[in-house]
Structure 1
């Protein structure tokens, strides 16, 4: 059985590990607020999963409309969320809701989740900061381990996450600049050096942009090229797993 990963777009990622399908931060709509998706919507098959994990409560990671679509395709699917975020996923048709904090270890849907730190502010929006925690996950099954970083800046414990077979690392966002609590292409390459995975999939870039700027904007593609260069400069270029939104590859 071949383990596969699908980059759905933005932070949304579907990881298949020894037959278990883990869907992270699903964002499955053409629009989200003032943002519009570049390229086609993902295939409906990505909604079929055995487990959903959410890294934090921001609307581009905990997206209620997308979670309803997942619940319709995967009735009763369990969902793991950061502590304080359970209220946002109740009533969407999902299964059991498990709240976690950094340092927790839980077994659910046949996988073990090691809950990691994430250096990114929690809450649901600008007026709600800090009411929920922010986490990442190391998903482990059958001796294989995948790190789902969600959204984060560099943090010291990254170097202690290994061994990691696949790391899904955020490298940018949806605008031309980043605020605090994010990785840019160069600091994302430093994250790869610290985590030391066998393969790395860049996420959280190149998928959504403000609608009034149009969809053909050069800066959407720029972070991917910068990240590839930064990896190569560190001697890590052979670890890059470069996908377009909707593409699938073995890992």
Structure 2
């Protein structure tokens, strides 16, 4: 792999079978209650009971020095979100150019992050860990969660990191953001008031070695077992690479997603792993 564009990953062995992006409708009153579309790295589009949410939007070709392989996400797949869920301010999660593309949507994060966003022209909205924030015009609610992700502090941005719970239409979604596994994850169904229907769980990074404050495929599978997730889509893998990627082991970008599916079947057998390619969508049953 060179420092320029690379081919998108090939098919994986995940189950169940994938649905082509065009064949999965946006969730609304007449359609599925929960649809997820993965756009690469930590960016996913959640259509939940009539609300559209985008996680950690990386919508342009690159994130600082990091390069995206394949093309940037098709705007038709993420257009008109009701809100953005921003887990933390690392450049591969809080890319200001991408946030500018969703300028009409409130960007939900912790208080320190929201203040920084507002100072940089983004509509940052602080949400808390003790109450639910209602997505305007919908019955969907969002709540902040703790995250363990402090191994690479930035000197020029706040370093608060969080995850999210989303509930609406009788469905619950867990987006942990970048985090290590921690014991209180087992309490999430109680906080949500129901089982975790979908986990968007990070399983890799933008290099073959992970720093602290992350989960590899096995740790992510254990986290899904701890929360009792019914369906899990691996994110934060296979998308970004550093310019020196041509010097790294070949194929490393394609390993984490399939490895997660294997680990889930072994460690969380009641959870259904769904490995998507960037741009693919899945209607959660």
State whether structure 2 residue 59 is matched by structure 1 residue 28. Answer: yes
Indicate conservation of the 8 Å contact 2:258/2:275, yes or no. Answer: no
Q: Deviations over 1:6-35 (max 9, x none)?
A: 101100111000111011100011111221
Q: TM-score normalized by structure 1?
A: 0.89
Q: Deviations over 1:67-107 (max 9, x none)?
A: 11122xxx3x2221112112432266654x32134334222
Aligned to 2:203: 171
Aligned residues: 244
State whether structure 2 residue 86 is matched by structure 1 residue 54. Answer: yes
Structure 2: gaps of 5 or more residues: 1-30, 190-194
Aligned to 2:278: 245
Aligned to 2:265: 232
Q: TM-score normalized by structure 2?
A: 0.79
Secondary structure in structure 1 of the residue aligned to 2:206: coil
Aligned to 1:16: 47
Q: Deviations over 1:43-81 (max 9, x none)?
A: 11213211111011111111110011122xxx3x22211
Query: Superposed, which structure 2 residues align to 1:73-92 within 5 Å?
Result: 75=104, 77-90=105-118
Structure 1: gaps of 5 or more residues: none
Choose 1 or 2 for highest CA Rg. 2
Q: Deviations over 1:173-201 (max 9, x none)?
A: 00110111000111011001011111001
Aligned to 1:7: 38
Indicate conservation of the 8 Å contact 2:53/2:81, yes or no. Answer: yes
Indicate conservation of the 8 Å contact 2:82/2:135, yes or no. Answer: no
Change (3 A) 1:67 1:92: farther
Query: Superposed, which structure 2 residues align to 1:97-136 within 5 Å?
Result: 97-109=124-136, 110=138, 111-121=140-150, 126-128=154-156, 131-136=158-163
1:150 to 177, 185, 201: 177
State whether structure 2 residue 75 is matched by structure 1 residue 44. Answer: yes
Q: Over aligned residues, Cα RMSD in angstroms?
A: 2.2
